[in-house]
Chain A
């Protein structure tokens, strides 16, 4: 047991960066998940989770590169959210939010 070494430890080898730490960070691989910031997980129009592409896009994208991120989410002024694809078809017939019947106007789009 060489208890007296404890002070000297590491100093000689270190390049001077954080010389007093026993553990130093070299690399951190941080993982996070993103999801749409929505109140309801499911698009009320196509009944698919908003994190997945809408039904129509799933059908079309079967052949070309799957998992394209093109099927984004749209928020109305009423704060209800849907797939942008689903909503743009919906407003052609009825310019109201399918959930609250308020007149539909886009508050923001997912990106």
Chain B
């Protein structure tokens, strides 16, 4: 078409262009004019010569190929690995730089070729277009250059290159140093050579990365076994740890960043260094845990956590260790801890701290290890080998047999709690902060107790005693404790009941003040009139014939109360009431804090101070039931803290059960409080001991009531779940049940089964006809 005037052909222009192109390829200096001329020439050839662009491209290719051939000769002339790499990298470096310059003048060429090929709808061209034409990376000439390099020189020597590079890396692993730039250079050439626009790293990954990985794996396969055999597991772990760090750093240096190679390599190393030796390494974990080698364990944890399933066996080892060490500790000191709740709780806390610090120092408080610790500690806390609380099993009530032993821990924990909250030598010794932190410790252990209902019962009994005897060390702390119990998730109805007791005692205090101002002469009496619902539901009263001095007050109090309230009835709880009496004998005068029962017994002597009174007569005088009278008398003839007892008896027995009807008792006229070996003329002693809240019989009933309550709670929870779910499988039901009840107690499988049967029998629910393990709610 355009074959006439002014037209420029490729053949005209090329002779002038070629030297410039060659200069560029060889990285020789090109003047600014030459550089600009090249642009001009490309432009005119493309514009005027129809076949120009193709001819231009072919010519360019020829020259590039020629240049590459020369470069190849230069590189291959090197025989030695390092020199070969060096030469290659130098050549490649030059060439690659050129890849960024040479394409620029030929941009016009690309546009022309692309426009044509666009008509013939070539896929590559359209992608290229999309990928932004001006981008050098996608440039046609650049691609031409890289492809040529790839096909000619690279294909020929890539194996040699790779091998040389790997040899260098290997040498570095063995401690020799070399110019790391050599390996990096090879890698860069692999990365940059790729002209596949979808996967730019293809060549790199298939060759360099694969070779690197393989070499690494082979190297460590050999080394790991060697090290393990020669130096044992512990030093091997150090070796592996160090090597992993080294390899990671090396990978960062030699592998392409951002390609995922580093991660892949690390994984590979982990597999060879750890994964393949897992059983050998793990065999060491239990002994290390036992020895408390936190540093080594930390190392082991760090290593094994890198491989899948590496940590699970350590978790098991830790759990087993805690259980066995904890129980061994308990069994070893069984003598002390069964009798002393302070020692026991301190022991438990000590164990907890020990295990926690192990989990912290060795396993950095990793949540998985904390769970293992909790699980194992729970076993220790709830263990029944050292001592147990015998509860009648639910079966006993419903007619079959068997007992379910439970840990005594909740009882002892409640006792310890009482020692902290009551005025005791312990609570006096401690500062307020210390008491608080110990109460927090109690709550911590409480968290692990399965049968919290037992704790609750004992705690409530202790609180009752403290409130009735006014023996709280700090009433603020008492109420704080109630809130803390609420915070740790104790059941609301239980906590509310405790709170209600505080409320009630305040109401009663107000009433007492009124009583004392209304009737002025009664400064010898304090009254506590409490809400039976909050304090004493179901507990049984004990009859006693009160001394006249006390009896006189009763009608007056009742009269007063009737004026204040209506519709209420009063029941006297003399087993809870108490007082102070003065005892005078030849030695001196003593104030005695006593229970009302003790008072009733002692006042029997007021009419006949020097007489010996038989058991039978005391029984007639006091009207106390046999067990209570025995217990009361025993507290007066054998009070543990006293050197000289208040009462003497004959014949002497070692056990209150051995009192007979004819055993006689008399007041010890030599009674005195002894201090530093000298009898005192004045003094005060508390003979109340632990205030009895219930009789022996009602204690058994109490245990029954715990079981009974558990049964009701279980039934209640089952119905609650079924109401919501309508139908549910046995396993799902069991787990939901535990979830609901766990703040009170852990329902045994047996009890759940019994209650399910009972509910089915009573038509609250039924089994599915098709699936015996599915339950259906029946409204």
Contacts and interface: CB of A to CB of B under 8 A. Distances in A.
Interface of A: 2, 5-6, 8-10, 13-14, 21-37, 49, 51-52, 62, 65-69, 72-73, 75, 108-111
B549 to A, nearest CB: 5
B17 interface: no
Contacts of B577: 28-31
Interface stretch (B3-11, B90-98, B114-122, B497-505): B497-505
B568 A37 contact: yes
Given A9-B585, A31-B530, A36 B568 contact: yes
Nearest to B495: A66
B530 A32 contact: yes
B585 A10 contact: yes
Nearest to B591: A26
A32 B570 contact: yes
18 contacts: A5-B586, A8-B586, A13-B588, A13-B589, A22-B583, A22-B584, A22-B605, A28-B524, A28-B526, A31-B530, A31-B574, A32-B573, A33-B529, A34-B531, A37-B567, A37-B569, A67-B500, A67-B534
Interface of B: 468-470, 492, 496, 499-500, 503-504, 507, 524-537, 547, 549-550, 553, 557, 561, 564-574, 576-586, 588-589, 591, 596, 599, 602-603, 605-606, 609-610, 667, 669
Contacts of A108: 566-567
Contacts of A62: 492
Nearest to A68: B503
Contacts of A13: 584, 588-589
B568 A22 contact: no
B525 A69 contact: no
Contacts of A49: 533, 537
Given A6-B669, A26-B579, A35 B526 contact: no
Given A31-B572, A32-B573, A37-B567, A23 B581 contact: yes
B581 A29 contact: no
A77 B529 CA distance: 28
A68 B507 CA distance: 10
A28 B579 contact: yes
Contact of A66 (B500, B532, B585): B500
Contacts of B528: 29-32
B478 to A, nearest CB: 15
Contacts of A34: 529-532, 561, 565, 568-571
Given A22-B606, A26-B524, A33-B529, A73 B586 contact: no
Q: Which 7 A-B pairs have the closest CB atoms?
A: A51-B533, A67-B500, A110-B567, A10-B584, A33-B532, A28-B579, A67-B503
Contacts of B572: 30-32
Given A26-B591, A35-B569, A111-B565, A6 B525 contact: no
A111 B525 contact: no
B571 A33 contact: yes
Nearest to A73: B567
A67 B579 contact: no
B581 A51 contact: no
Given A25-B579, A29-B526, A29-B528, A6 B584 contact: no
A69 B567 CA distance: 14
Contacts of B567: 36-37, 72-73, 75, 108-111
Contacts of A6: 586, 609-610, 669
A23 B582 contact: yes
Contacts of B580: 26-27
B527 A30 contact: yes
A8 B585 CA distance: 9
Contacts, number: 174
Given A30-B525, A32-B573, A35-B569, A22 B585 contact: yes
B526 A51 contact: no
A3 to B, nearest CB: 9
Contacts of B557: 30, 32
Nearest to A110: B567
Given A22-B667, A23-B606, A66-B503, A29 B589 contact: no
B526 A32 contact: no
A49 to B, nearest CB: 6
Contacts of B507: 69
B568 A35 contact: yes
B468 A67 contact: no
Contacts of A21: 606
Contacts of A14: 584
Contacts of B566: 108-111
B532 A51 contact: yes
Contact of B526 (A30, A33, A36, A65): A30
Nearest to B588: A13
A103 to B, nearest CB: 21
A29 B573 contact: no
A10 B589 contact: yes
A108 B566 CA distance: 9
Contacts of A25: 524, 547, 549-550, 579, 581, 599
Contacts of A69: 507, 531
A27 B526 contact: yes
A60 to B, nearest CB: 13
Contacts of A66: 496, 499-500, 503
A52 B535 CA distance: 11
Contacts of B605: 22-23
A69 B528 CA distance: 16
A35 B586 CA distance: 47
The residue in A5, A25, A33 that gathers the most chain B C-beta atoms within 10 A of its C-beta is A33
A67 B497 CA distance: 8
B570 A24 contact: no
Given A22-B606, A28-B525, A34-B532, 12 more contacts: A10-B585, A26-B581, A28-B579, A31-B527, A33-B532, A34-B568, A34-B570, A36-B568, A52-B533, A67-B534, A73-B567, A110-B566
Contacts of B499: 66-67
Contacts of B586: 2, 5-6, 8-9
Contacts of A51: 531-533, 537
A44 to B, nearest CB: 17
A10 B577 CA distance: 27
A29 to B, nearest CB: 5
Contacts of B525: 27-30
A66 to B, nearest CB: 5
Contacts of B564: 111
A9 to B, nearest CB: 5
Contacts of B565: 34, 110-111
The residue in B529, B579, B584 that gathers the most chain A C-beta atoms within 10 A of its C-beta is B584
A2 B584 CA distance: 15
Nearest to B581: A23
Contacts of A29: 468-470, 525-528, 577-579
Nearest to A22: B609
A82 to B, nearest CB: 12
A32 to B, nearest CB: 5
B105 to A, nearest CB: 83
Contacts of B553: 28, 30
A57 B175 CA distance: 81
The residue in A24, A36, A37, A69 that gathers the most chain B C-beta atoms within 10 A of its C-beta is A24
A51 B572 CA distance: 17
